[in-house]
Every structure is written in C-alpha cells, then in structure tokens.
Amino acid sequence: MPQVVTHQDWLDRADGLRPATTHHIDGRDEPGSGGDYAVVSPRDGRTLTRVSDATPAEVDLAVAAARRAFDSGPWPRLAPAERGRFLLRLADLLEEHRGDLALTVSLETGKPITDAHDIELRAAIATFRWYGQLADKLTDESPHVSPDALALVTREPAGVVGAVVPWNFPLTLASWKVAPALAAGCTVVLKPSECAPLSALALARLATEAGLPPGVLNVVSGDGPTAGRALGLHPGVDVLAFTGSTAVGRHFLRYAADSNLKRVWLELGGKSPNIILPDAPDLDAAAATAAWGIFFNQGEMCTAPSRLLVHRSIAERVTEAVLARARALRVGDPLDPATDMGALVGEAHLERVLEHIAAGRADGARLRTGGSRTRTGSGGSFLEPTVFDRVAPDSRLAREEIFGPVLSVLTFDDLEEAVTLANDTDYGLAAGLWTSDLTTAHRVSRALRAGTVWVNCYEEGDLTVPFGGVKQSGNGRDKSAHALEKYTELKTTWIRL
C-alpha cells in the first residue's frame, strides 16, 4: 500500500484530485465540439467532474490520428524490442502514479480503494510489463517446402484497433486490449465506459509522457450509442475489440457487417457455475471462495460464480457457511480501507439488480440474506450481499446475468446432473469445480462448456494463460501470447528459387 493508508488520508487525497477531463487525440488534449457530461461517483451520488462527450466528429479525429500513426508513423516500423521499451516505461509511470489512479478508479466505479490499489492497478501494471517483455519474443515461420522454393510466414500488425471497455475494471480491461495491440505494432482508439472514463483518460496522458508517438494511443470519452457506434461503424478501424454485455456485442457484429467487415473480438457476459462435490478437499475453503467470488467487486464481474451448484448431501452445510461469510462482510465507503464491499456503479444499475431480486422472490426462490439497499443516507448506490436458495434452473435468477452481489444456490444429486445444470446456460465464460478425485477433475473440466475451468480454486491465473469464453460469452482471447493473434495478420510469401 502507499504511504496514504487511513480512511481520512484517502478522503483528503480525494479532495485534491484533479482528473483529466478531455479526450486525448494525436498526443494532445482535445476538448472536441460535443459538449460534456457529468461523471457521478456511486460512492455518494456527487458529480466528480464533467468530461468531454464524443460525437462522431471526435471519433473521426481519433481514427484519423491512429491511421496516420499506423500508415506513416514510426510505431509499426520500430524494432519490437523498442516498442517493448515504451510499454515498460508506461508500466513504470503507472506504478509511479498508482495511488492517484487507484483513487480515480475507486471514485468512478465505487469499488473499495484496497481492491483498486492492490488488484486493479497491480493487474494493469503487470499487463503492460508482460507485453513489453514479450514484444521481441515472437517469431515468424519458414515452413519446409520443396527445394526450389522458399516459403515465409510473417506476422504483421493488423492496423488501427478500436477498443471498447466497460466500467467494472476500467484499467485492467483497457490494458488487456491496449498492451498486446501496441506490442504487435497496431495503433489504438480506446473508448472507455461513459460511467468510468477518468482512469482511461489518465492512461492516455501517461502513454504520451512515456514517449509513445502521437496518434498511437488515443482515448475518447462518450456513450455507446454515439461514440461506440461511430467506432464500430468506422471504415478506418481494422479490428474492434470489445468487453461488455452480450446485447452490445451483437451491435458490434452488426456494425462490422454494415461497414468494412472489420474483425470483431468479443468478451461478453457470463453466468458461471461453481460446482461443489461432497469430496471437495476442504468444504469450508470451497464455501469461503464461493462467497468471495460472488461478492468481490460487488459482484460486478463477468466471471462471477453466480450459480453455486452443490450436492444435495452437503447443500445446507455449504449454504450456511456462505451465509455466515455474506453477513460478516462490511459494506462501506469505498475510500475506507476496512471496507469489504463498496457501491454498485450507479443508481440505474442498482435498480436493475433490485429488479432481479424482486423477480427471484416472485419466482419462488428463498431469500436467505440481503436483498435490500443499504447505507441509504450516504447518497450512494449500495446493496447488501444477497443469497437465494431453492432456485429453479429455469428461473431468471439462474439464467440471466445480474452483474451484482446476488448468489443463486442450486442442488443436484449426481455428477451427470451437475454437468447438465452447469452447461444449461447461453453463456460459457468460466466455471469452478471442487473435488479430490483427479479423474473427476479431468472429466468434468472437459465436459464443461467454458473458456476457463478452475479446480479447487476460483479466479486464479496469471498473464501466461488466455482468457475468454465460448457460446454467447464471446470469441477470441485476452491475456497470454494468444491475445496477439487478434491484432496481427499472417502473410505468406512464396519465393521461387
């Protein structure tokens, strides 16, 4: 943690925070002509600041700057090791400004300051460092062909990348797109969520400070229907990378079809199952992890284990342990280091989550704890940790992504039923499994339709492994060397000797 560690210290530091408020295009601040809008903190309902609101004109400026930087600028032509050094400098600057960036993330999203500093910023810094170190480790190919020819397969940067990222992990998810795209030699136009644009605008300025040439990383703030749509439809964008809801992902596929057939990579929603078998190596640890997983980041996480599938013989024991954890969590001011759960991102989102809770009760699920607003005098958007059991597999609670701290407990009688329940979803992002049997671990992991399966843990991993989903959770992968596949093109050159 930084030297500023107390609640009052963070409050004092927040009073002096002056976030960037304009687009950053072609290496400089650009107010644009689209007016501005308020960024409201879910912590207390107050306006943090007003930021520039992008119209298609600002998106055109940003894409034109990225196109110039790609077509005639130095970035794609630098030695990969040199591009890597720029990314490493940017990682150093993120570390240097870690406290203010964490504070910005906490204020704009409502997540606890400790999570913003220790998890969000750690992940963003590590991502730029990892891809900075990877940039010169990629190799081209020379397949063995007939003696009278030479075949070369080269990996070339794909061009201008449009990246659209959500509010729940604004810097982490931006880094997952931006870092590999830059390492590959692409240029980028990043559009953060209108709910949490401030940390991304700060990232853009640090990138310029790190020495990235003008136009290599541009950030425009604005909403999805205007700025996001303009980016998706833009003929000057070669690749579009999006993290967000499945509904919005469909829009980006349509935008690509209606424009230049740009490649679209989607990391979308989830309704992840977490299966606990009676032979789990430690039932208390399994229950504790289940509670942590659904309540971490206020449940606003695409991989959240929102469906807890428990064998009937241990269901009550596990559920009681989860309930004890839920009731012990401290919902508090995000700037208090003692807070376990902060605020949901805003009032509109809180109301949607409350609608899901009301629908669950109407469908006959049993509410075991939570379900109501809390800290009502704060002006913020706070919700109690919420647990339902007796959830029907065909109910809204079991099928729709809630994106909040709401856990649905379902029971099963045998392994086949558990796998059937787990796969009975439109999504396929992640899954968890708790068992002591190695054969069961392998067989069930293979049977689960998910991009990631965690066995006897949840949310573990590092940058060496890919992340992404199947079915309506999207396509393509973030993290690992595989992420570079989204931002490169393979070219075959055949030379007759």
**For residues 273 and 138, what is the distance between their CA atoms, to the nearest angstrom?**
36
Question: For this structure, is 384 an active site residue?
Answer: no
Q: Which residues pair with 49 in a beta bridge?
A: 39
Do the Cβ atoms of 342 and 381 come closer than 8 Å? no
Measured at the CA of 426, the angle between CA 422 and CA 430, to 5 degrees, comes to 55
Question: For this structure, is 267 an active site residue?
Answer: yes
Q: Token pair for residue 28?
A: 């400089």
Buried b / exposed e along 131-147 (16+ C-beta atoms within 10 A): bbbbbeeeeeeeeeeee
Kindly give the pairing relationship between strand 488-496 and strand 149-157. antiparallel
Segments in 72-197 forming alpha helices (H) = 80-96, 98-109, 113-115, 121-134, 170-184
Measured at the CA of 325, the angle between CA 321 and CA 326, to 5 degrees, comes to 115
Q: Token pair for residue 31?
A: 């107010």
**For residues 70 and 95, what is the distance between their CA atoms, to the nearest angstrom?**
28
Do the Cβ atoms of 112 and 341 come closer than 8 Å? yes
Residue 67: what residue type?
R
E strands, 116-232, where?
Answer: 149-157, 160-164, 187-191, 217-219
What are the Cα distances from residue 328, in Å, to 44, 292, 322, 484, 485? 23, 12, 10, 42, 44
**For residues 120 and 97, what is the distance between their CA atoms, to the nearest angstrom?**
13
Set 30, 302, 401, 485: catalytic member: 302
Task: Give the sign of the dihedral formed by CA 174, CA 478, CA 127, CA 297.
Answer: positive
Q: For the CA atoms of 328, 110, 365, 268, what is the dihedral angle to 10 degrees?
A: -130
What does the DSSP 8-state code read for residue 117? I
Do the Cβ atoms of 405 and 418 come closer than 8 Å? no
Residue 162: what residue type?
G
Kindly give the pairing relationship between strand 386-389 and strand 366-369. antiparallel
Set 267, 384, 401, 485: catalytic member: 267
**For residues 44 and 333, what is the distance between their CA atoms, to the nearest angstrom?**
9
Quickly count: other Cβ atoms within 10 Å of residue 122's Cβ.
15
Do the Cβ atoms of 107 and 41 come closer than 8 Å? yes
Q: Which residues are catalytic?
A: 267, 302
